[in-house]
C-alpha cells in the first residue's frame, strides 16, 4: 500500500499532487473518510467534505463518502463497502476520534489486510497522517478542549492502544517555529524521549511504500539532515 502523508492537504504543491493525479488515472474512485471531524457540527463537517471533494475531483478522482460510523460493530459490512475502492482519503481533525472510528468499524483491520498490495493508496493530512504512527501517546499533551485530545468521547469510551503502526515515527504536522503551545510540547516530548519523528510543515508531504519502507519527500529535495535526536526532519 502507498501512503500519502500531508500536513495541510489544501496547501500541498504540484510535485506531490502529481502523484495523486497519476494515481487517479489508474484508480479514479476514492473513498473520502470524514470521521476525524465527527466531534464537529454537521454543517462544518459538510463544508469540509464539500471542500476536499472539489479538490480531489480536480485531481481526477470520482469521490464517494465512506462514513465509518455507518459500520460500527459491523466489520464484515465495512469490508464489503471498502472493497470496491483502491484509494482512501481521510480528512484531518481529531486523531483519537478517527482512530476510535477505525477501530469500531474494523477499518483498521481492513487497511492492514491490504497493506502488502501496491494496488492501494491511503492519503491523509494532519490527524489522519498522525494516526498512521505506531505510538500516538504524545497527543496526551493536547489540552482537553483541543480537537485532537485523547479524552474525546465522541464515540463513547473506546480504549485506543496506539496508532495503526504503518510508520515508525510521529509526523509533527503543522510544524512551525511559532506553532501552538501544545504542538510545541508534543515536539519537546518526542525529543526528550528520543522518539522518532518528522517535522512536517504545511505544504510538505511524504509518500511511503509500506511494502518496501521506501519514503520520498515533497517538494523534492535532498534527504534532510538528522536533527538533534538522530531523527530525519522535514523542514
The pTM for the full model equals 0.89
Q: Which domains does the chain show, CATH number per domain?
A: 2-218 (3.40.50.880)
Residue-wise pLDDT tens digits, 145-165: 455 555 566 777 676 778 999
Summary mean pLDDT of the chain: 88
Residue-wise pLDDT tens digits, 39-81: 999 999 999 999 999 999 999 999 999 999 999 999 999 999 9
Measured CA to CA, the distance from residue 174 to residue 181 in angstroms comes to 12
Residues 11-25 have a mean pLDDT of 96
Band the pLDDT of 128: cuts 50, 70, 90.
very high
Q: What is the pLDDT of residue 141?
A: 65
Q: What share of the chain is helix, strand, coil (3-state, %, to 5)?
A: 35, 20, 45
Please report, rounded to a whole number, the percentage of residues in the chain having pLDDT higher than 90.
Answer: 71
CB 189 within 8 A of CB 131: no
Residue-wise pLDDT tens digits, 89-123: 999 998 989 999 999 999 999 999 999 999 999 99
Amino acid at each position: 500500500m502507498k501512503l500519502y502523508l500531508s500536513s495541510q492537504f489544501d496547501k500541498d504543491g504540484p510535485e506531490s499532487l502529481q502523484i495523486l493525479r497519476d494515481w487517479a488515472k489508474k484508480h479514479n474512485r476514492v473513498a473520502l473518510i470524514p470521521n476525524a471531524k465527527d466531534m464537529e457540527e454537521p454543517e462544518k463537517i459538510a463544508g469540509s467534505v464539500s471542500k476536499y471533494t472539489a479538490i480531489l475531483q480536480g485531481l481526477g478522482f470520482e469521490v464517494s463518502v465512506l462514513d465509518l460510523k455507518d459500520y460500527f460493530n459491523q466489520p464484515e459490512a465495512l469490508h464489503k463497502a471498502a472493497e470496491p475502492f483502491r484509494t482512501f482519503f481521510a480528512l484531518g481533525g481529531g486523531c483519537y476520534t478517527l482512530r476510535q472510528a477505525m477501530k469500531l468499524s474494523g477499518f483498521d483491520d481492513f487497511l492492514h489486510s491490504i497493506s502488502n498490495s501496491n494496488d492501494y493508496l491511503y492519503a491523509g493530512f494532519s490527524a489522519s497522517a498522525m494516526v498512521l504512527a505506531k505510538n500516538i501517546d504524545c497527543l496526551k499533551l493536547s489540552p482537553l478542549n483541543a480537537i485532537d485530545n485523547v479524552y474525546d468521547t465522541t464515540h463513547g469510551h473506546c480504549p485506543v492502544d496506539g496508532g495503526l503502526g504503518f510508520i515508525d515515527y510521529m509526523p509533527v504536522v503543522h510544524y512551525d517555529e511559532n506553532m501552538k503551545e501544545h504542538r510545541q510540547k508534543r515536539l519537546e516530548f518526542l525529543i526528550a524521549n528520543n522518539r522518532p519523528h518528522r517535522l512536517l510543515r504545511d505544504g510538505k508531504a511524504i509518500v511511503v511504500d509500506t511494502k518496501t519502507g521506501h519514503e520520498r519527500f515533497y517538494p523534492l529535495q535532498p534527504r534532510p539532515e538528522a536533527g538533534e535526536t538522530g531523527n530525519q526532519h522535514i523542514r
